[in-house]
Chains A and B, each alone.
Chain A
Amino acid sequence: MLLVLEQCLNGLQFGLLLFLLAAGLTLVFGIMDLVNLAHGSLYMVGAYFAATFTAWTGSFVAGAVLALGAALIVGMAVEVIAMRRLYGRDHLDQVLGTFGLILFFNELVRIVWGPAGLSLPLPAWLSAWIEILPGLDYPTYRIAIIVTALAVALLLYLLVMRTRLGMLIRAGASNREMTGALGVNISLLYTLVFGLGAALAALAGLMQAPIQTVQIGMGENILFLAFVVIIIGGIGSIRGAFIAAIMVGLIDTLGRAFLPDLMGLIMSSRGASQVAPALSSMLIYVLMMIVLVVRPAGLFPVSIK
């Protein structure tokens, strides 16, 4: 029973991380109608910034804060320099353009930081573990990820639903021409939204960095999952992204954890250990297919512009 609880925490943590990445992606896709494959590059850049600034300042938290600021600036610069050229164009042009950005960022990182990758060590107070329940120790850092991501989700909700900026974002999403006609500076709004998305991706990247290594191309695999999340959740919907991300995180983790044992009930344990990993890596795509069949626009479709 404790194992199930522990695996649920693992799944929740993974799902929340996916949410941070998917939130930025869905904002940009839903509001700006822009397919941004380079979102994973911003995740990578966030991790590299955090590793560098942490080494400079000697503090993980200070490094993380500086990295977020830097990623926000990089995101806004990318929007002004590159993304503006892509609005209103065909999605295929956007895919091509942002794929080019992936190559650009990978090469840039190779030139600046070298090909070997970096490590981002955790401070002692985060690399311990806490006894949540008797007999259930859980790594402090993973709890910190859960708490941070939940706080960010709440802030994002408040930002979009309760502030003037959020109102403009929602207005821009439902009718950009009309919003522009009412005197709102749409291009500044887009720059801000893109920067916000970049900062969210960077936050996911820098939180993942101490668990994994900081390396070139680290954002590319996880970006697939982020796309799955926004497809399941409904493109443009932050609430959908939140719920879908947690579903994907839980299904992926619980599948990996328990499928070998379940398969073991119906076949030899040797066979189960071969089949289960393949099957568990399919689960989230099966989920996506079911959602697409039942609700083609996702679980929480955003009303049409």
Chain B
Amino acid sequence: MTRVLLATTALALLAATPALAQQKTVKIGFVSTFSGPTAVIGNDMRNSFELALDHLGRKMGGLPVEVVYEDDQQKPEVGVQKSQKLVESDKVNFVIGYIWSNVLLASLKPVIDSQTFLISANAGPHQIAGAQCSPYFFSTSWQNDQTPQAMGHYMNQKDVKTLYLLGPNYAAGKDMLGGVTSTYKGKVVGEDLTKWPDQLDFSAELSKVRRARPEAAFVFYPGAAGVQFLTQYAQAGLKGQIPLYTAFTIDAITLPLQKELALGVPGAQQWVNDLPNDANKKFVADFRAKHKAYPSFYGAQSYDAANLVSSAVVAVNGDLARKDAMRAEMRKANYASVRGPYKYGNNHFPIQNFYLQDVVKDADGNLTLKTVATIVENNQDRFHNECPMSW
């Protein structure tokens, strides 16, 4: 009898173990670009995310964290496939990442339809801030229009009267140019959307800029394209002739390649590596010690995404089925963001400050970014009224 009991107990335990094991980890899918020319951005996000997990002791709410990294190859069709795989076969609790707005737009539906939380650590297309907003979506970055809107304000301050706009022809490029025109008060004398991501030679567009003779040019060229653009701008003899204003074109990843070409070119950002809060000091110092380079804003947003998710898991004591309670906690943004405290709007996009940043040399002679001024405070995106969600 005892033997039978023992055997039954053992069998029951055996059967129960997998189920218990599943509940005993927080499973996170991380979608970013890990191959091709923009893989450096994905690697930077992964490094920052891993650093955040290290700082959290690789546990959230007492549960160990398991991460599945997936490469979207910067292609929407690959991104949606990988996102589906994460929710359907890996059964992750959270999907984090997404550099590119077109990839995020394609991937959103399968994730939120499965009632899995999606935290964008970069892309912020206006559709998701407005009509397509979702209770299962959060952003630890910005809505695309916000950063160029801040740049528009700054150009008004600098009294720029005529402006030429340049950006890539995809979801984010259109948002960026739309954002800057919504706040800029001068006259837009020309606008070009270039083929994305494979147009790397801007000779035709630069010739048009030169002929249009604007007082300034605003550009959005993320990743390696930013290096190519600044190089060709200088080669065309336009640097120094027509001042550049940028969004997401100069960052910690591109600066080592842009070098002196980036000096004196202002940009706007919600996070800069020298923001003086404690969470940021720790993030930047530990990142630099480990990777011998400055972290980028992509990394900072990924670091925040890990901490936002952790705050939600801690709030429910690791009971990942309590999604409403986790959402309620994330809405408070109750964690130490490296950008400093911020609030969430009704559409789950941050209401936050945007800073003017400039390129300087640090103590070791390396180029880095520095906060110069606050352009706008507690800025909320211009699409939140179109989002039916309220709480």
Contacts and interface: CB of A to CB of B under 8 A. Distances in A.
B191 A273 contact: yes
B224 A215 contact: yes
Interface in B185-237: 191-195, 198-201, 203-205, 207-208, 210-211, 224, 227-228, 231-232, 234-237
Contacts of B39: 115, 216
A97 interface: no
B13 interface: no
Interface in A115-139: 115-119, 121-122, 127-129, 137, 139
A217 interface: yes
B169 interface: yes
B40 A14 contact: no
Judged by DSSP, the binding face of B is helix
A216 B37 contact: yes
Given A216-B36, A257-B207, A277 B228 contact: no
A221 B227 contact: no
A277 B228 CA distance: 19
| Most chain B C-beta atoms within 10 Å of own C-beta, residue among A7, A117, A213, A217 | A213
Nearest to A210: B231
Contact of A217 (B37, B195, B204, B235): B37
Interface residues of B, number: 36
A60 interface: no
B259 interface: yes
Given A129-B237, A217-B36, A212 B204 contact: no
A149 B117 CA distance: 54
A270 to B, nearest CB: 9
Contact of A122 (B192, B195, B208, B235): B235
B130 interface: no
A139 B235 contact: yes
A52 interface: no
Contacts of B259: 119, 121
B169 A277 contact: yes
Contacts of A260: 192
Contact of B195 (A118, A254, A277): A277
A128 B253 CA distance: 27
Interface string A254-268: 101100100000000
Interface in A4-34: 6-7, 10-11, 13-14
Given A7-B207, A129-B237, A273-B191, A117 B231 contact: no
Contact of A281 (B40, B195, B237): B195
A213 B224 contact: yes
Contacts, number: 104
Interface string A217-239: 11001000000000000000000
Q: Is the interface of A mostly helix, strand, loop or mixed?
A: helix
A278 B37 contact: no
B372 interface: no
B124 to A, nearest CB: 20
B345 interface: no
Contacts of B210: 137
Contacts of B76: none
Contacts of B235: 122, 127, 129, 139, 141-142, 210-211
Contact of B37 (A6, A139, A141, A218): A218
Contacts of A10: 203-204, 207
A244 B141 CA distance: 46
Interface in A280-299: 280-281
Contacts of B116: none
B193 A14 contact: no
A116 B39 CA distance: 8
Nearest to A214: B257
Contacts of A6: 207, 211
A274 B178 CA distance: 12
Given A218-B37, A221-B198, A277-B195, A213 B227 contact: yes
A121 B232 CA distance: 11
Interface string B364-377: 00000000000000
A6 B208 CA distance: 9
Contacts of A256: 192, 194-195, 204-205
A129 B236 contact: yes
Contacts of B191: 273
Nearest to B226: A213
B243 interface: no
Contacts of A137: 210, 237
A212 to B, nearest CB: 5
A118 B259 CA distance: 12
B257 A117 contact: yes
Contacts of A217: 36-37
A256 B207 CA distance: 11
Contacts of A253: 203-204
Contacts of A129: 235-237
A2 B207 CA distance: 10
Contacts of A215: 37, 224
A256 B202 CA distance: 10
B204 A257 contact: yes
A304 interface: no
A142 B211 CA distance: 18
A256 B205 CA distance: 8
Nearest to A260: B192
A92 interface: no
Nearest to B207: A6
Contact of B40 (A11, A117, A141, A274): A117
Nearest to B169: A277
8 contacts: A3-B208, A119-B259, A129-B235, A211-B228, A212-B201, A212-B228, A213-B227, A278-B169
Interface of A: 2-3, 6-7, 10-11, 13-14, 115-119, 121-122, 127-129, 137, 139, 141-142, 208, 210-213, 215-218, 221, 253-254, 256-257, 260, 273-274, 277-278, 280-281
